[in-house]
């Protein structure tokens, strides 16, 4: 492992010994943001189009334990764009106090009638990104103070209220 980034030191407990043979833990390149997550399956598993998401064990647990950090599970862009394999929950959030087994919620977004997406044991199916967490103090108010027009006040305009282009 490399030196801790920004003082973050995360302990990883391997739950599946095959991960060591698959090269875990490692980033795909020197500048990659996401740590590769492998499918710790015992056999190839087809993910049917539009069927409920399946949970794929990532084969490890981690201990972040710093409330200023969390980890986020994202799909791998090539699998999502090219093949249609995405996360059933879009993004998984691993809180600093969660130390159980990591699971990957995998979903085949392709239309019914499309081919199943086979997931093989050891295949890199998702990525884990560590990021800072800010927990602001929240206060309940009756109304928001008025914003000056040049400050970009949008009011209750909602989605698309700033126009196109």
Give the residues across from 131 on adjacent strands.
70
Report, as an integer, the average pLDDT of 65-74: 97
Distance from C-alpha of 53 to C-alpha of 48, rounded to nearest angstrom: 9
Contacts of 113 (CB under 8 A, 6+ apart): 49
pLDDT at 159: 66
The rounded mean pLDDT for the chain is 91
pLDDT at 152: 58
User: Residue 99 is encoded by which pair of tokens?
Assistant: 């130390």
CATH of 11-132, one of 2.70.40.10, 1.25.40.10, 3.20.10.10, 1.10.420.10: 2.70.40.10
pLDDT tens per residue, range 39-57: 999 999 999 999 999 999 9
Cis peptide before 165 (omega within 30 of 0): no
pLDDT tens per residue, range 115-142: 999 999 999 999 999 999 999 999 999 9
Quote the pTM value.
0.84
Backbone torsions φ then ψ of 48, nearest 5 degrees: -75, 145
Cis peptide before 25 (omega within 30 of 0): yes
What's the longest Cα–Cα distance across the chain? 61
């Amino acid at each position: 492992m490399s030196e801790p980034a920004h003082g973050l030191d995360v302990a990883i407990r391997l739950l599946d010994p095959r991960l060591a043979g698959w090269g875990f833990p490692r980033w795909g390149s020197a500048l990659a943001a996401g740590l590769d997550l492998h499918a710790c399956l015992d056999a190839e598993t087809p993910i049917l189009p539009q069927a409920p998401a399946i949970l794929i064990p990532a084969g490890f647990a981690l201990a972040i334990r710093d409330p200023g950090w969390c980890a986020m599970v994202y799909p791998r862009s090539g699998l999502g764009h090219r093949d249609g394999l995405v996360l059933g929950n879009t993004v998984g959030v691993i809180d600093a106090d969660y130390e159980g087994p990591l699971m990957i919620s995998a979903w085949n977004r392709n239309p019914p009638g499309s081919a199943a997406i086979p997931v093989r044991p050891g295949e890199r199916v998702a990525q884990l990104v560590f990021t800072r967490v800010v927990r602001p103090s929240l206060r309940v108010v009756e109304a928001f103070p008025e914003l000056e027009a040049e400050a970009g006040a949008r009011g209750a305009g909602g989605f698309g209220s700033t126009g196109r282009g």
